[in-house]
Structure 1
Amino acid sequence: MKLKGQATPYLTFNGNAKEALNFYAQTFQAEIQRLQTFGEADYPTPPEAADRVMHARLSKGDFLIMVSDTFPGQDVQIGNHISLALTFESKEEIQSVYEKLQQEGTIQMELQDTFWGSTYAKLQDKFGTIWQLDCPKQ
């Protein structure tokens, strides 16, 4: 199996991701990249979610953190606000890992093709670790 890069921390916020990104960018002297709001996405979005961060990256050299907000009404609690993001090179690899991690776990988003051009899933394994699995379409 060939993964792209390392497991990347993914932080989830309750509507204040932009504030957190700016704070962390200043703290780590890092650059905010690829910031996209839910309202900018080609996806039905309620008006109260339009300005929330759907996805952003904060990087400096090898340092990388990914960030998003939840939809309004979704809880963010200590423990579920951090996940690990993995990027795969093939659908076979992501499918294999997905099938193993879901055993005795909880699926938060089924493995599926997405509107942003990836095969993606999000799940919590039987040990409580939350994983975001991504395989960009070639």
Structure 2
Amino acid sequence: MEKLATFLMFQDDNAEEAMNYYTNLIEDSQITSIVRYGPNESGKEGTVMQATFTLKQQEFMCIDSHVKHQFSFTPSVSIFVTCDTEEELNDLYQSLNEGGQALMPLGDYGFSKKFGWLNDRFGVSWQLNLPK
């Protein structure tokens, strides 16, 4: 086995927008490669055929699916972020929740100092934690 990476399939031609959003929001993150659909290929020209990006050195892959599926992202799989400060957690939660959906509002649920769970505007699920 060479490696493992989280794979995100976007269905609204917004993979690049999501990658840019995430890598600008989280420090020490970058888009590492993008291959786009060209003319007369199966996907919409210019959209993401395959891309990779890192968030805090964790690798992710993504595509813009040219096939519309009956499923999308689900909170049963989420990106778990351990924050260093309450300010960092609050800022991330506020930013990711814009246009998204709060699943567990920021609070003390007993297992951490502060925790929040949400789906961002792209439908990707995030758990944000400030350990005790």
Q: TM (normalized to structure 1)? A: 0.45
Larger RCO: 1 or 2 (CA < 8 Å, sep 6+): 1
Structure of greater Rg: 2
Q: TM (normalized to structure 2)? A: 0.47
Identify the structure with the greater strand proportion.
1
